[in-house]
Amino acid sequence: MSPSANRADSEGQASRWIAGLDGCRGAWAGVLLHLDDGRHRAARFAAVADLVDAPEAPAWIGIDIPIGLPDRVKGGGRVADRAARAYLGIGRASVFPMPPRAAVYAPDYETAKALSRAASDPPFAPSIQGWNIFRGVREVDGLLRARPDLRDRLHEVHPEIAFRRLNGDRALAAPKKRPEGRAARRDLLLGAGLPEALVAARPAGIGADDHLDALAALVVARDIALGRAVPMPDPPGRDGFDLPIVIWAPGGVPENTGRPVECC
């Protein structure tokens, strides 16, 4: 069951805002949408807490960052990583296997590799690309452990899983780095019912890819709020701090609106 519920904003009213977040260079690309009246905005946030504590007080937030760090990893990654890789298939999108918690908090890359190999079966070391996102992982992990009330608001997503779900469980022909790939993803977001003005409202300092990924996270947040999102895996795993280990995906192609984009 999706973790949907009414939550109160700073004035004690039930918040009907949702949000999507994607990491960008030194900050976070964020988008917010009101579920009932369509108000929206896009902005660059210095920290995740800045969006969480924004005036809108979004009740459901999709974020493209791993949540839940096991002390020991088996099978080549967290249960959520393995589920995501199985769904996307080989060579379609990067799913960095998250190493054990100790490696994520290592002081340097060489130490992270050693700690990961020591607490994984079979042993593996994080790639340099994976290491580069650990700052964001630590930020979110620390926030969720310091503020347990946020565990029902922040939910891990994977943008390419979201786009594939919106595309009728079919892979897109072009990657998002290519103009045709970005155009296809914009079409899917519009087909999913996001306001055209929000899809076009990329803030200064935010890359086109990061804005699209934040919008994909927003779609997942909406489906969590509506109780139709899909957990990968089902049921979710848990780490030693009882944080969920699960990637949430949208329910699929919206009826009478979404249509698959031509695939290869």
**CA distances, 71 to each of 99, 101, 184 (Å):** 9, 5, 39
User: Where are the alpha helices (H) located in 178-239, listed in sequence order?
Assistant: 179-191, 196-200, 208-225
| DSSP annotation string for 120-139 | EES-----HHHHHTHHHHHH
Q: Cβ distance 121 to 77 under 8 Å?
A: no
**What does the alpha-carbon distance between residue 71 and residue 102 come to, in Å, rounded to a whole number?**
7
Domain 7-69+137-249 has CATH 3.30.420: yes
Q: Decide: helix, strand or coil at residue 202.
A: coil
For residue 260, the model assigns a pLDDT of 39
Report domain extents, the chain.
7-69+137-249
| Residuewise pLDDT in 10s, the chain (264 residues) | 445 444 444 444 568 999 999 999 899 999 999 999 999 999 999 999 999 999 999 999 999 999 999 999 999 899 999 999 999 986 545 788 899 999 999 999 999 999 999 999 999 999 999 999 999 999 999 999 999 999 999 999 999 999 999 999 999 999 999 999 999 999 999 999 999 999 999 999 999 999 999 999 999 999 999 999 999 999 999 999 999 999 999 996 655 444 433 332
Rounded distance between C-alpha atoms, residue 227 and residue 5, angstroms: 9
Residues contacting residue 121 through CB under 8 Å, at least 6 positions apart? 72, 73, 74, 75
pTM summary value: 0.91
